[in-house]
Structure 1
Amino acid sequence: MRHGLKLLKPMASSFTPCLDGRYLLLGLNDQRDHLEISKFSRLDADAYPRYEIQLQKFCKFMDFLLDSRTPETFHGDSSFNNQLRDKWHKSVFWASCLRHALSLGQKDMVEFIDLLLSPTSKVLNKWFESDVLKATLAGDAIIGSMVSIQTSGSGYVLLHHVMGETDGDRNIWSHVEGGMGSISVAISNAAKEAGAYIVTDAEVSQLVVEESGRVNGVLLADGTQVYSSIVLSNATPYTTFMDLVPHSLLPEDFLRAIKNSDYSSGTTKINVAVDRLPHFQCCKLGHPEVGPQHTATIRIGSESMEEIDSACQDAWNGIPSRRPVMEMTIPSSLDKTISSPGKHVVSLFTQYTPYKPSDGSWEDPTYRESYASRCFKLIDEYAPNFSSSIIGYDMLTPPDLEREFGLTGGNIFHGAMGLDSLFFMRPVKGWSDYRTPVRGLYMCGSGSHPGGGVMGAPGRNAALVVLHDLTQH
């Protein structure tokens, strides 16, 4: 509760309704997980704890990488002392990396590498036989992306989402009382307590850079100049370097790499206000009001791996998925501060939607309404009369996410999370340690290592690099 941040844990982690009248509810406890999975496969129920244990091992190894800045080639003052410090940092990093790898053991290390390089389908097929379980778990590998479960390297994104934790509990997704904006408020309260002065509604038009090539602050859209020898940008790398920094100050290969980075996104977010909770016809849990299924991540259109793959193929062919894959959450099932009594807020992460569909335009109100209706009708198949409960909705397509939130391409992670865009390659090769070709300018957003997610790791790591550089000067 410090600084006003209150996390609300769901009663269950995921709920997958099926059209044949069955459902899969996970996350109540280990015993219930075994019973739930046994409805589809006894073998899978026995394998699931081993699968989770292995992922926990991999997450523990990844914790070290998430909290470390990359041992990047040193771009600063090449004095003897700085070169010595740089070599010492790299030696410490690689020694720690080796120690963590040895703690895994060769067998698990090989499995870890296999997971990083493999398609999600291969990873899950190796463990399970039930399509419903595999499709439920595969949802974490595709969210926010334009990749298929058959795409090599998508196994890493599966792991990336499992790494999250709440109060030390791994793979727990919590809601924030008051909505996601409460996180920003809590962070700002903490910053103010530490002496920060925060200005909002102040659009930056460009960075101010001296002739020496060092940053000297920012110029606001209203003409105000804010002077500073240190600037941190959590805008996307594309926005930062293509829109805010004079191109003449940047190396050609760097600029080319930024310009050609993958910002593709298949996600459209739909926020829905409803006058009652959805009732899933497969679910007879005896909860007339809020039940564990309402607090979980509800997976719509994820009964089989084939469904997910077909949805992606549609988008690759240039059209929004005919049967979208959806992650549905009902934050008001836990948070009573965001809706009136009896009313609820439903959040839909829908996939896949191309940035520029070939069969229409997101600027066309009829086209937008058609896609929203498609999503609502699909939910109706699982929860009859969902559409009739809708009071209103707001839809954010990839172009909307780009325009309203500055997310290049509508990508919620500030860039693709493929293996070619991680660690040493994030945001681009040669500049993964939060420093940039403009001295005094640092990157601290999700476009930097270790990538997207509401975890703050890029900002924390970048801050440590800035503090380190300040002590050296």
Structure 2
Amino acid sequence: MPKSTAPATKRATSKSVGAKAAPKASATRGAAARPAGSKRDGAADHAWDAIVIGGGHNGLTNAAYLAKAGLRTLVLERRHLVGGAAITEELRPGYWFTTFSYALSLLRPDIIHELELTRHGFMPILMPTTFCPMENGDYLLLGQDHGENHREIARHSRHDADAYDAFNHDVLKVCQAIKPLLDAAPPDIFSDDPEELVALAMLGSRFRRLDRKVLHDAVRLLTGSAADFLDDYFESDILKGYIASSSIIGTKVGPYSQGSGLVLLYHLMGEHDGEFGAWAFHKRGNGGFTQLLAKAAESFGVEIRLESPVESVITSGGRATGVALADGREFHAPIVVSALDPRRTFLELVDPRQLPTDLVDAITRFRFQGTSAKVNFALDGVPRYPALGDRTDQYRGFTNIGPSMEYLERAFDDAKYGAFSTRPYLDCAIQSQVDPDMAPPGKAVMSCFVQYAPYHLRESDWDTQRQPLGDTVQATLESFFPGFGDLVLQREVQTPLDIERTVGLSEGNIFAGEFLAPQMYFFRPAPGWSQYRTPIEGYYQCGSGTHPGGCVMGAPGKLAAERIIRDRGRAVAPDRANAVARDRQGAVARA
């Protein structure tokens, strides 16, 4: 893969108690202040074509595409700001944090162009380095220069320096083969519709035409463990640990677990400016991104109302007709789209008795098992690493605390038995080194993604263990960066329970459902329901619990909008044909 940070893998996480939101798009302020009229406010002041539940990045993307297609679209967001897990907040005056989701990479390029995001301020900043400190005081530092990367890896293993090129080449081929699957809905393998059968045949043909090694590598990654795959290429612990860290993010697996290869592949597909393996930080964080996404949606005519929690979807005669808010207001539209996770979409917003038993059973069994936390630090300065003296350029990207696959597996051992890791994996970013506006001059903000922190603790609860987790993360950082604790001005700890409470992600799973083969592609979120529809006519799903999944990518929102627009066209076409026939009959009668 062309970028030195090829397997760099960045993702989502938590909330900020009492934090102040970044003042950006009008969608976060004025829209919420709209007065509510009658109980049937939606019917009284507007005739909506579509209502989107949830103002996260997928909900905003979905709404923007629907509005662009001419549908009068309303977004209802329960919080005081848009963005869902992709928000930026002020922890203390002048210190801004990407509270949960903290990087961009899988955002689909078509969304950037089709929604004209650049016009609204889209400003991704490449994160050019990955710094991997080691427990013996050494380190691995990878950047954008191929020659420097080769020499750096060769310090640890000459064999691995050459093998890294082969690895990137092989993985690039797999990513190129898999990438088209991210940008299209899966075929319905349970349908006899000729259109679906053709799509399924084309999918099979695509893989049949692949080179044998590419196909074999793809199958190994999709079904096997990251450790087995990496052991075939590398011998140095630090390089394997760095790459394998991408195989455990947001999922209750270790690098030696079957299924970790799929998580690795998903993150290897991250891209920036058309190049795989590159990750970016949006100006002002992911909250800056969702604010401009809200502006784009509004430019197409979307209305966004904040502090408007939806209690339920209103149905009549087997179809959706609108939504009821927690305060009793109702908004009505023939299309309702849930950007929430599958549990909330199918088991909370509607009465499960309206759904097929097999679907209810599948969603009940759908695995969330959040295993991630987030710790954010306001710092008095940039930490120093003894082997690098006063250098700080290593922090222009990500700092990876996971020096070996064994380190990662030991961290997983704690989670297996219902405890957070005593020596956790940390994916850190000193974001003020990437965007100086995130902190006052001379100060710093540091975002730490923490794995593992299981939602279900065996012997305690997260309200009790929140600060002990923060202490553990801080102690881990102190062991790699002596004096780190002296730099800490303020610390914010976000547990899986906090993620659930604040963002609404069930069990705090950052992907709205684990990345496991039985929960992906044809089966996300349930067999027979991977194409964004639900059994209730007019009720759709567009959250990260649908294909292709999590990260700030927008694909679920876009693909769901395309499905809705196609379905609407099919429904409208017969009506138009009937109208034309009636007009012709009338003309004949008048003649």
TM over 0.5: yes
Is 1:410 the counterpart of 2:511 in the alignment? Answer: no
Report the equivalent of 2:119: 2
Cα distance, 1:93 vs structure 2: 4.9
Report the equivalent of 1:376: 474
SS in 1 for 2:131: strand
Report the equivalent of 2:110: none
Cα distance, 1:188 vs structure 2: 1.1
Q: For 1:201-237, what per-residue CA distance to the aligned partner results, in whole angstroms no more than 9, with x for missing partners?
A: 2100000011x11001111112111111111111001
Cα distance, 1:103 vs structure 2: 4.6
Cα distance, 1:162 vs structure 2: 1.2
Report the equivalent of 1:333: 433
For CA contacts below 8 A with separation 6 or more, give which structure has more relative contact order: 2
Q: Is the CA contact 1:448–1:458 (under 8 Å) kept in the aligned structure 2?
A: yes
Q: What CA distance in whole angstroms lies between the structure 2 residues aligned with 1:377 and 1:168?
A: 38
- In the TM superposition, 1:90-105 aligns within 5 A as 90-95=197-202, 97-105=203-211
Amino acid at match of 1:278: P
Is 1:466 the counterpart of 2:554 in the alignment? Answer: no
Q: Is the CA contact 1:214–1:438 (under 8 Å) kept in the aligned structure 2?
A: yes
Report the equivalent of 1:442: 540
Amino acid at match of 1:20: N
- In the TM superposition, 1:58-457 aligns within 5 A as 58-72=174-188, 86-95=193-202, 97-210=203-316, 212-284=317-389, 287=391, 290-291=392-393, 293-300=394-401, 302-364=402-464, 367-457=465-555
Q: What CA distance in whole angstroms lies between the structure 2 residues aligned with 1:341 and 1:359?
A: 43
Amino acid at match of 2:322: G
SS in 2 for 1:147: coil
Q: What CA distance in whole angstroms lies between the structure 2 residues aligned with 1:392 and 1:162?
A: 33
SS in 1 for 2:386: coil
Report the equivalent of 2:84: none
Q: What number of residue pairs does the alignment pair up?
A: 454
Q: What CA distance in whole angstroms lies between the structure 2 residues aligned with 1:151 and 1:452?
A: 20
SS in 1 for 2:489: strand
Q: What CA distance in whole angstroms lies between the structure 2 residues aligned with 1:283 and 1:214?
A: 63
Cα distance, 1:89 vs structure 2: 4.3
Q: What CA distance in whole angstroms lies between the structure 2 residues aligned with 1:186 and 1:250?
A: 37
Q: What CA distance in whole angstroms lies between the structure 2 residues aligned with 1:54 and 1:375?
A: 35
SS in 2 for 1:337: helix
Provide closer, same or farther for how the CA distance between residues 221 and 162 of structure 1 changes in structure 2, counting only shifts above 3 A. same
Query: TM-score, normalized by length of structure 2?
Result: 0.75
Cα distance, 1:154 vs structure 2: 1.1
Gaps of 5+ in 1: 76-82
Amino acid at match of 1:298: T
Gaps of 5+ in 2: 1-117, 572-591
Cα distance, 1:90 vs structure 2: 3.4
Cα distance, 1:102 vs structure 2: 4.4
Q: Is the CA contact 2:411–2:452 (under 8 Å) kept in the aligned structure 1?
A: yes
Report the equivalent of 2:153: 37
Provide closer, same or farther for how the CA distance between residues 350 and 334 of structure 1 changes in structure 2, counting only shifts above 3 A. same
Cα distance, 1:414 vs structure 2: 0.2
SS in 1 for 2:378: strand
Q: For 1:272-329, what per-residue CA distance to the aligned partner results, in whole angstroms no more than 9, with x for missing partners?
A: 1111011112324x63xx41x21221111x1111111011011111111111111111
Is 1:19 the counterpart of 2:135 in the alignment? Answer: yes
Q: For 1:367-415, what per-residue CA distance to the aligned partner results, in whole angstroms no more than 9, with x for missing partners?
A: 3222211111111111111111111111111111111100101100000
Is 1:46 the counterpart of 2:147 in the alignment? Answer: no
Amino acid at match of 1:321: S
Amino acid at match of 2:524: R
Q: Is the CA contact 1:234–1:445 (under 8 Å) kept in the aligned structure 2?
A: yes
SS in 2 for 1:43: helix
Q: What CA distance in whole angstroms lies between the structure 2 residues aligned with 1:100 and 1:252?
A: 35
Q: Is the CA contact 2:174–2:217 (under 8 Å) kept in the aligned structure 1?
A: no
Q: What CA distance in whole angstroms lies between the structure 2 residues aligned with 1:59 and 1:162?
A: 8
Over 6 Å off, 4+ runs: none
SS in 1 for 2:160: helix
Q: For 1:136-181, what per-residue CA distance to the aligned partner results, in whole angstroms no more than 9, with x for missing partners?
A: 0011111112111111121011010111111112111111111211
Cα distance, 1:469 vs structure 2: 0.2
Q: Is the CA contact 1:19–1:282 (under 8 Å) kept in the aligned structure 2?
A: no
Q: Is the CA contact 1:22–1:283 (under 8 Å) kept in the aligned structure 2?
A: no
Q: What CA distance in whole angstroms lies between the structure 2 residues aligned with 1:458 and 1:90?
A: 22
Q: What CA distance in whole angstroms lies between the structure 1 residues aligned with 2:379 and 2:560?
A: 41
Structure 1 vs Structure 2: percent identity of aligned residues?
35
Query: TM-score, normalized by length of structure 1?
Result: 0.93
Report the equivalent of 1:79: none
Q: What CA distance in whole angstroms lies between the structure 2 residues aligned with 1:215 and 1:199?
A: 20
Q: What CA distance in whole angstroms lies between the structure 2 residues aligned with 1:56 and 1:73?
A: 28
Q: For 1:235-287, what per-residue CA distance to the aligned partner results, in whole angstroms no more than 9, with x for missing partners?
A: 00101112110122111111111111100121011111111011112324x63
Q: Which moved more, 1:252-261 or 1:66-75?
A: 66-75
Q: What CA distance in whole angstroms lies between the structure 2 residues aligned with 1:108 and 1:164?
A: 18
Q: Is the CA contact 2:498–2:508 (under 8 Å) kept in the aligned structure 1?
A: yes
Q: Is the CA contact 1:8–1:177 (under 8 Å) kept in the aligned structure 2?
A: yes
Cα distance, 1:196 vs structure 2: 1.2
Q: Is the CA contact 2:322–2:333 (under 8 Å) kept in the aligned structure 1?
A: yes
Report the equivalent of 2:41: none
Q: What CA distance in whole angstroms lies between the structure 2 residues aligned with 1:71 and 1:368?
A: 43
Q: What CA distance in whole angstroms lies between the structure 1 residues aligned with 2:255 and 2:121?
A: 39
Q: What CA distance in whole angstroms lies between the structure 1 residues aligned with 2:172 and 2:189?
A: 31
